[in-house]
Amino acid sequence: MSHSPTQPSNPLNIIVLAGGESAESEISQQSGENVARALSARGHQVVTVDPSLVDLETYDWSTCDVVFLALHGTYGEDGTIQATLERLNVPYSGCDAPTSKLAFSKSASKERFIQRNVSTPSYVLIHESDDAQRIEQHARSMGYPLVVKPDAQGSSLGVTIVKSPEELPQALARCFHYDSFGILESAIAGSEWTVTLVDDEVLPLIQIETPHEFFDYEAKYLEDSTQYHFEFQQPTNVIQSILKTGVGACEALGTSGIVRVDILLDRFQQPWVLEVNTIPGFTDHSLVPKAAARAGLDFGELCEKVLLNRLAKATTRPQN
């Protein structure tokens, strides 16, 4: 497949939505700046809008051709902004509202993965109102180490690897700081990988190596010690299995646009899907620009390609 998108006959008027009020607002601002800069360099007219500062319901969308969503976390990835733009009849990048809502919930995503035979670590859904003894019992049944995560949160915020019962209360407090729901997840020891899809096209696979306990917020966005590998020691069949698992996860959720799948590969060479990110990071530290560059695709081309694909779908959609 060619990586050179068809050039638009006229520059597009693009609004990049970034910032917001979620716990990931700072990263969202960085993503938005990177996207806006890249699209401007392609010759498009780009305006960046922070929905925490502007009322989108009364905003003048008349000159906007399409929106590029760089909103991470709550409101941006949970289907809320997507539903708003759909109601306003404004085309936007990425997944639709129902898919975004599904993917943002780790427990709901896991249920869909299970239905579609996509391997994902076992889990138990918990709530901040649950009796502490009940949660402790679930943890004992699952066995240590285990992972405590907010059900709906990104950038590894609120995630803790718990090695003993003594560490559980603090991990739960951290989790419930970000979400009233959380999950206890079986800890899979292994290497970390990411599969990026642009609609149906798979970008080069990345293996992540970090000195941190796992690929956490600091390793994602702040540390320069994180290493990204495109050459692998694993045999071809294992690499193909990782890619197939990533594609299967996206198919299970029905994603579109730029999507990143986080995967663990265990010591038996079995891939396990952790989550699907429907609006992954677009910062200089982020994985998506690195995968695009490896594919020979300029980041501006990547962003443009997604928007042109979205507009093409809008023009070919049957009218009711």
Catalytic annotation on 93?
Answer: no
- Annotated domain spans of the chain: 13-94+297-303, 102-119+189-294, 123-186
CA angle 23, 25, 30 (to 5 degrees): 140
Cβ-count burial 133-144 (b if 16+ within 10 Å, e if not): eebeebbeebee
Task: Give the pair of three-digit tokens for residue 96.
Answer: 């639709």
Task: Give the pair of three-digit tokens for residue 216.
Answer: 């956490």
Measure the CA–CA gap between 174 and 79, rounded to whole angstroms: 24
Q: Which CATH architecture has domain 102-119+189-294?
A: 2-Layer Sandwich (3.30)
pLDDT tens for each residue of 170-218 = 999 999 999 999 999 999 999 999 999 999 999 999 999 876 655 444 5
pLDDT tens for each residue of 2-34 = 444 445 557 999 999 999 988 888 989 999 999
Residues comprising the binding site for Mg(2+)? 262, 275, 277
Catalytic annotation on 52?
Answer: no
Contact (CB, 8 A) for 95 and 251? no
pTM of the model: 0.89
Catalytic residue of the set 22, 28, 155, 241: 155
Bond preceding residue 145 cis, omega within 30 of 0: yes
Catalytic residue of the set 28, 105, 119, 286: 286
Residue predicted with more confidence, 291 or 316: 291
Catalytic annotation on 128?
Answer: no
Which distant-in-sequence residues (6+ apart) come within 8 Å of 312 by Cβ?
Answer: none
Does 13-94+297-303 carry CATH code 3.40.50.150?
Answer: no
pLDDT tens for each residue of 258-300 = 999 999 999 999 999 999 999 999 988 889 999 999 999 999 9
Q: Which CATH architecture has domain 123-186?
A: 2-Layer Sandwich (3.30)
